[in-house]
Amino acid sequence: MTDPFTIDLLRNYLLVGAALFALGMLGFIARRNLIVMFLSAEMMLQGVALSLVAFGRYHGNWSGQVFTIVILTVAACEASIAMALVVVLFNRRSSLDVTLWQDVREPGVETTDLADEAGEAAPMEPIEGVESYPHLTPAGVEPAHPIQPWTERRR
């Protein structure tokens, strides 16, 4: 009996895995938020896990799934350590921006002042349109509570 998991099906899985890997790489390169960068790295891991499971299914053994379980373990460890690091880094600079940490670069590499440029080009006031936050009414002074009869009695 031939295996129903043909090489065309394997190729489909590998293509989807490659797309997830490339999208994760795009997010890791292009985004500046530390947390979104780690999310993108997790997305690359998902693409690799998909390819491994498909290869294991094609070859008819459990190795792909065992490897994916190891990937799950390493991803959980990575996420916990990364989140601890993110909390520490946020406490140092009060920001999640990765470009603030350019002083740990290799010697001889130019810095990019993206943070300053962005700060000048787009100040922090809300932008009209899709990207604006709702304006909430400022809460005033707490009004004097009228004394209810039952609270008077209790006093």
Partner 1 sequence: MTTGSLILATIGILFGATGTYLLLPHRLGAAKTRTIYILGAVFASLGLVGFLALLSPPALSPLGDFIAGSFFYVFAGGAIGCGVMTVTSRNPVYSALWFAAVVVSVAGLFLLADAQFLAAGSVIVYAGAIIVTFLFVIMLAQMEGRAVYDRAARSPGRAVFTSFLLLWSLTYCLASVRGKPDGPPPAGELAGPEARLLRGREIAGFYQLAETNEGRKALEHSLRPTSSLYVEADPSKPKPNVAGLGEALYADHLLTVELAGSILFAALVAAVLIANPKRAGVPPTPAAAVEV
Q: Does residue 98 contact residue 35 with C-beta atoms inside 8 Å? A: no
CA distance 19 to 25: 10
- Please, what is the Cα angle at 121 between 117 and 124, to 5 degrees? 105
35 binds partner 1 (CB under 8 A): yes
Number of residues that bind partner 1 (CB under 8 A): 93
CB closer to partner 1, 88 vs 141: 88
Instruction: State how far the Cα of 65 lies from the Cα of 55, in Å rounded to an integer.
Output: 9
Please select the residue that binds partner 1; options are 101, 105, 113, 127, rule is CB under 8 A: 127
Contact between 84 and partner 1 by CB under 8 A: the answer reads yes
Among 72, 101, 113, 151, binds partner 1 (CB under 8 A): 72
Q: Binding segment for partner 1 among 56-64, 101-109, 137-145, 147-155 (CB under 8 A)?
A: 56-64
Tokens 């932008």 belong to 127
Q: Does 105 bind partner 1 (CB under 8 A)?
A: no
DSSP state of 130: T
* Chain center to CA of 6: 35
Structure tokens, 11: 């190729």
Closer CB to partner 1, 12 or 151, in the complex: 12
Q: Which of 92, 95, 152, 155 binds partner 1 (CB under 8 A)?
A: 95
Exactly one of 104, 108, 110, 121 binds partner 1 (CB under 8 A); that residue is 121
**Residue with Cβ nearer partner 1 (129 or 143):** 129
* Binding of partner 1 by 115 (CB under 8 A): yes
SS3 category, 97: strand
Q: Residue 106 carries which side chain, given as an amino acid letter?
A: E
